Amino acid sequence: MSTFSNQLSTDQVERLAMLAEECGEVIQIVGKILRHGYDSTHPDGGPSNRELLVNELCDIDAVWGAMRSRGDIKGYSYAKVKEVWVRKLRYTHHQEDYV
């Protein structure tokens, strides 16, 4: 029986765990926005759902930046982002090119 190894370092595993956690938090706030709107807040007060989304996206951006700077992610470019968005536009009804 062979021993499995994903060949990830402990810091890579941690960054992936951080990314997964932050993506989950974005999913949660997107659900709240779909149910209650961007400008809704908790009944006891606090930031709006829009502000919460921005905070979570900044968290993802921070982890994403760490992953790129440490070589976890390769092949990223703004040209590729543009290409992906243009491809996605073929399957949308209400979006425009923004890039």
Give domain limits for the chain. 10-89
The Cα diameter of the chain in Å comes to: 57
Q: Compute the average pLDDT of residues 76-97.
A: 93
Rounded Cα gap, residues 33 and 41, in angstroms: 10
Q: pTM for this structure?
A: 0.86
Instruction: Return the closest-CA partner of residue 17 out of 63, 55, 65, 71.
Output: 63
CA distance 54 to 29: 10
Helices 10-36 and 49-69, axial angle in degrees (round to 10)? 160
| pLDDT tens column, 23-63 | 999 999 999 999 999 999 999 999 999 999 999 999 999 99
91, 84 contact by CB (below 8 A): no
Closest CA to 64 of 52, 76, 53: 76
